[in-house]
Structure 1
Amino acid sequence: MTKRRSIQHKSFTRWRRKILAVVLLGFCFGSLVLMQTQYNRIKALASLVSSPRFVQKPKIAFLFIARNRIPLDMVWDAFFQGEKENRFSIFVHSRPGFLLNKATTRSAFFYDHQLNDSIQVDWGESSMIQAERILLKNALRDPFIERFVFLSDSCIPLYNFSYTYEYIMSTSTSFVDSFADTKEGRYNPKMHPVIPVDKWRKGSQWAVLIRKHAIVMVKDNTVYPRFRQHCKRRSLPEFWRDHPLPADASKEHNCIPDEHYVQTLLALKGLEGEITRRTLTHTSWDASSSKDRERRGWHPVTYKLSDATPALIQSIKDIDNVYYETEYRREWCSSKGKPSRCFLFARKFTRPAALRLLNMSLLGA
């Protein structure tokens, strides 16, 4: 009986050892498989991080100031279609509550890119400056954005995305149309001493800013309040019927805030040496274009369907210098240290005109 129990005990022990060995082998094999899987994952992740196609390149923020919709959305859709490296972001300042979705735009690039903290903007008022500051504030949250391009809802791109990107990124300066404004009636002496007259500048609001200058504009809490208080446009002629005529209209200040703010701010901050003093957006201020003598000079030329021709686009592309009469200065345009054409964008284009240019393949070349 004892011998039989001994045999059973040895048999049970051998069986238990076999089970234990199988379990240990399974555990070891499973651990090896798990380790190999984790190794492969880490290796794959390292490969993704080190792969050039996953390195985030500097980005451009396209900052649209619109009334409601983006009327030239399909033109911009074609422009952005050519970019495959995630080198841009879109921000749209429209009226409060307006949404960009399938019902309001035909381009998916604009879906949900409206700002949620927009304000009501009135032409010729300081609210335009505030809209620009809101756009910059939102765009600056992306640390990869290094250039900030202001665009109106009537702007068109003259070249393709790659050319535009390389042109803008080729310099470390901002493109800010800026010249000394010596015409009486624009500078309000009440701005002194915060804004001395020798720092008073004028130019186009359609600037391209480097990140450093965008931060300066957003953080400004001294110059902007002065503009809001003392820089106001003269009453428009068509509004005079609703408001009493000034006793002497010649003495009424005619300060358009968005044409002075960025230029004057950077001058006050001692940053004029860091800007290229011209805009990249072409605008025609042909005074003879307006039939109303009183309105000449208030608004730029609007290009309609009949104006949208190859000759028009080529004439804009061929411009290689800008002359500033008040400073007797001619600015020759350059890119990467070489002579180049001056403009990357143009305005003001109606939707029919822009679509005609797009259909003729005159844009994005």
Structure 2
Amino acid sequence: MMVMKKSSSSFFSSRRVLWFGWKLVIALSVSLCLMALIRLRQYSQPETSSSSSYRLSRSRSRIHSPHLEDSAKIAFLFLARRDLPLDFLWGDFFENADAAHFSIYIHSEPGFVFDDSTTRSSFFYNRQLTNTIKVSWGEASMIQAERLLLDAALEDPANQRFVLLSDSCVPLYNFTYVYSYLMSSSSKSFVDSFHDKKEGRYNPKMSNVIPRNKWRKGSQWFTLTKRHAEVVVDDDVVFPAFKKFCRRRPAVDPSKGKENIKLQKQHNCIPDEHYLPTLFAMSELELELERRTVTYTQWNESASGMETKSWHPVTFGYTNVGPEQIKRIQDIKQIYYETELRTELCIINSTSVPCFLFARKFSRAAAMRLLSEGVTGPFDPTRLLSSSLH
């Protein structure tokens, strides 16, 4: 009888050990599964937007080689309709520069080549991009062209500043001054950015991607640091939203008759005036910006308060770019933003500086006068002669 009790006790004890072992295995398995699901969720869950904070994905990886300060370049990015009508002035500008301190990239119409038959300056030979697109004002293609320029310039690790210029832009100083100014700006980019509560270009249909409080307006003519140039090129969130929801309203076409009434009800938006400042607001990078452009534009104020065809930048001619007019632009040391009641002081390293390094829009005659007066460097009269040959 005693033997049977001992055997029974031993049997139940074994069952308890076996049951405890199974419970331990099950618990460990469940824990491992939960950990695996958590890790999988972390890696696979897409990033979502929020009205207070939005970080854009940085999909591309680039090799960042350490660079010496004296080898850093400024990438001059020319956004041209076809050729560069003021190439003789820019040729003089680059002639008086250290070739190791700059690079040139041009987005022109597809198929256009810069060579001795299309430009007066050898600095522009074969500087056109190979993957250009047809650009239309008021369309997202303008933004895409800017992104293509930045993408090409980022291929050169020495490029540390990226300046966007139009085919009617002129320099207001020589290269040495421009280089010193931009390289002294530390890690900040120059991007015109402000709130404009009066304009109605924000499209509510983009609110699931771009909240209204992140909507900004500003000049498209930027100067970016390398880090900020990469943000623009790597953007795969804001740009698609602009392509879909930010488009210029078609102009009135008399041949379309009553159809114009329907067309004029379409939402009106000018992508290049909103994309960059909105992108940096979305990226929480506004504190890293000098919220101003370094390119001066004088607007036709006859259309103040209206958004019509007459609201365009003034084109400077020969008679209104004399020394006094140029000095007036060079003496501007602050910019007032009426919509924000904000005065932007132009300061670099605690020192007051001129706000503008470049200006637009300049005619060929106006550019010739700047050249003759030695704005970009010592005057060489043969350059004026060569400019009249084409």
Q: Which amino acid aligns with 1:258?
A: D
The one of 353, 357, 376 equivalent to 1:344 is 357
Q: What TM-score, normalized to structure 2?
A: 0.75
- Give 1:10-25 correspondences, 5 Å limit: none
Q: Which amino acid aligns with 1:285?
A: W
- Give 1:128-167 correspondences, 5 Å limit: 128-167=142-181
| Unpaired runs of at least 5, structure 1 | 1-53
Q: Which amino acid aligns with 1:321?
A: Q
Matched with 2:124 is 110
Taking the aligned partners of 1:58 and 1:242, their CA distance within structure 2 comes to 54
Deviation of the 1:240 alpha carbon: 5.1
Q: What's the RMSD between the two structures over aligned residues?
A: 2.1
Contact 2:193 2:219 in 1 (8 A): yes
The one of 166, 178, 189 equivalent to 1:174 is 189
Taking the aligned partners of 1:314 and 1:93, their CA distance within structure 2 comes to 31
Q: What TM-score, normalized to structure 1?
A: 0.80
Q: Deviations over 1:229-277 (max 9, x none)?
A: 110112235x45457323484x542211011001000100100010000
Q: Please state if 1:329 is matched with 2:342.
A: yes
Contact 1:246 1:252 in 2 (8 A): no
Matched with 2:36 is none
Q: Deviations over 1:61-103 (max 9, x none)?
A: 0000001111100110111111125100000000000000000
Q: Which amino acid aligns with 1:303?
A: F
Contact 2:105 2:128 in 1 (8 A): yes
The one of 134, 139, 156 equivalent to 1:125 is 139
Q: Please state if 1:99 is matched with 2:113.
A: yes
Question: Helix, strand or coil: the match of 2:299?
Answer: coil
- Give 1:234-273 correspondences, 5 Å limit: 234-237=249-252, 239=253, 241-242=255-256, 244-247=259-262, 249=264, 251-273=265-287
Taking the aligned partners of 2:192 and 2:289, their CA distance within structure 1 comes to 9
Taking the aligned partners of 2:295 and 2:148, their CA distance within structure 1 comes to 21
Matched with 2:329 is 316
Identity across aligned pairs (percent)?
A: 53
189 and 55 in structure 1: CA distance in 2 versus 1, 3 angstrom threshold: closer
The one of 233, 237, 240 equivalent to 1:225 is 240
Taking the aligned partners of 2:178 and 2:329, their CA distance within structure 1 comes to 15
| Unpaired runs of at least 5, structure 2 | 1-67, 379-390
Structure whose alpha-carbon radius of gyration is higher: 1
Q: Which amino acid aligns with 1:337?
A: S
Matched with 2:290 is 276
328 and 219 in structure 1: CA distance in 2 versus 1, 3 angstrom threshold: same
Taking the aligned partners of 1:184 and 1:156, their CA distance within structure 2 comes to 30
Question: Helix, strand or coil: the match of 1:98?
Answer: coil
Contact 1:157 1:364 in 2 (8 A): no
Count of matched residue pairs = 308
Contact 1:310 1:362 in 2 (8 A): no
Question: Helix, strand or coil: the match of 2:268?
Answer: coil
Taking the aligned partners of 1:70 and 1:355, their CA distance within structure 2 comes to 14
184 and 77 in structure 1: CA distance in 2 versus 1, 3 angstrom threshold: closer
Q: Which amino acid aligns with 2:302?
A: S
Matched with 1:50 is none
203 and 241 in structure 1: CA distance in 2 versus 1, 3 angstrom threshold: farther
Question: Helix, strand or coil: the match of 1:202?
Answer: coil
> Hey, which bits of structure 1, 4+ residues long, moved more than 6 A?
none
Contact 1:185 1:252 in 2 (8 A): no
Q: Which amino acid aligns with 1:340?
A: V
Taking the aligned partners of 1:337 and 1:63, their CA distance within structure 2 comes to 28
Contact 1:318 1:341 in 2 (8 A): yes
Deviation of the 1:355 alpha carbon: 1.0
Taking the aligned partners of 1:294 and 1:283, their CA distance within structure 2 comes to 18
Matched with 1:295 is 309
331 and 56 in structure 1: CA distance in 2 versus 1, 3 angstrom threshold: closer
Contact 2:73 2:160 in 1 (8 A): yes
269 and 182 in structure 1: CA distance in 2 versus 1, 3 angstrom threshold: same
Taking the aligned partners of 1:283 and 1:329, their CA distance within structure 2 comes to 19
